[in-house]
Amino acid sequence: MSMNVFIIGSKGIPAKYGGFETFVDKLVSYRKNDDIKYHVACIADNEREFSYRGARCFNVKVTNIGNAKAIIYDLKALKMCENYIKKNNLKNCIIYILACRIGPFLAFYKNRFEKQGIKIYVNPDGHEWKRSKWNRFVKAYWKISERLMVKHADLLICDSKGIESYIQEEYSFYNPKTTFIAYGADIEKSTVKDTDEELTQWYDKFNIKKNQYYLIVGRFVPENNYEVMISEFINSNSKKDLVIVTNVEENKFYWDLVEKTNFNKDKRIKFVGTVYNGELIKRIRENAYGYIHGHEVGGTNPSLLEALASTKINLLLDVNFNVEVGKEGALYFSKENMSLADLIEDVDKFTEERINQLSIKAKDRIINKYSWDKIVDKYENLFISH
């Protein structure tokens, strides 16, 4: 029995960066079941179709109108899915919507899809309505939209057990049907070598040395706790650098951070911008002494999985999402004064044996729970059992 799975909500494939984009890319790349046909929406400035690793990709042209662009993109992609299903008289169709942007509009489609036998699956992502970048009106929209997505979805696929518990508790009055399938990662070594010019030039540019830096990778937003991580590092006596890979902008958050931490006076703190070359950032992770992760909003974070897969020592903020992923393969800190600073000083003194033990446990977490091979198997079984 053939199954048509339409995926909307990612920027599209092939993936250049981004969690949802990487997920969709891996889903179609690791496909084993020939009975599943993927149809993937891609945001673009044209409306052509193309094939990528067996998936039918269709471009969706959307005018850039600010925050509402993503909502218009999802709605337009949803309409294109419906038209394609009707035109080709397709049966056994699932529309898998990534993130909860279009809740207020979903009831309209829900009734029509039910009549056609089309199922709506939703990945609720993380707590988008908590993100500090949104004003209170946008936050209110996100929360309402999340509730309505939960109400109208046939199934919610959560990539974190913490998010699944939240959905079940927060929206118990809808009796939502949920399942848990994690995000994935791989433990293959980077193809970039230590002698490669791209890496050596990057190290030279920022005066960074292999195994002599702690690494942070993540969006430059307050809920990723940059203030805590930077302040604590400054309070430590570590002789290593703190290398921060992020899309830093000299905005209010940046200048508030300068004022509160005075990081600009500490030569160890190095903001190095973004790195979009996947193999290069993997090598930078592998060569770090340790990784520091301060995310506290959302579900299973891709950068955390990549760190566990690549970096020997991982220091994580002690919140349920991070503990769920890292378990005994990581060390944990709180936001209390000197918690992370003391941990860094302890970790600086680790023996090679202790470091290797942690590294092995971290890699085992990825192999046993988060390998893309296993994640895609779970998705395919889910789609076929529809």
Higher-pLDDT residue of 45, 195: 195
The pTM (predicted TM-score) of the whole model is 0.85
Confidence of residue 299 (pLDDT cuts 50, 70, 90): low
Backbone φ and ψ for 143, nearest 5 degrees, come out as -65, -45
Please name each of the domains of the chain with its CATH number.
3-184+371-384 (3.40.50.2000), 197-370 (3.40.50.2000)
What integer pLDDT is reported at residue 131 of this predicted model?
Answer: 64
What integer pLDDT is reported at residue 132 of this predicted model?
Answer: 65
Cα distances from 153 to residues 106, 115, 145, 161, 201, in angstroms, run 9, 15, 12, 18, 49
Identify whether the C-beta of residue 214 lies closer than 8 Å to the C-beta of residue 240.
Answer: yes
What is the residue-wise DSSP string for 313-345? -EEEE-SHHHHHHHGGGSEEE-SSTTHHHHHHH
pLDDT at 302 over 60: yes
Confidence of residue 372 (pLDDT cuts 50, 70, 90): very high
What angle do the packed helices 197-206 and 278-286 form, to 10 degrees? 60
Q: Which residue has 């971290």 as its token pair?
A: 362
pLDDT tens string 224-268: 999 999 999 999 999 999 999 998 877 788 999 999 999 999 999
Taking residues 205-211, what's their average pLDDT? 98
pLDDT tens string 165-185: 989 999 999 999 999 999 999
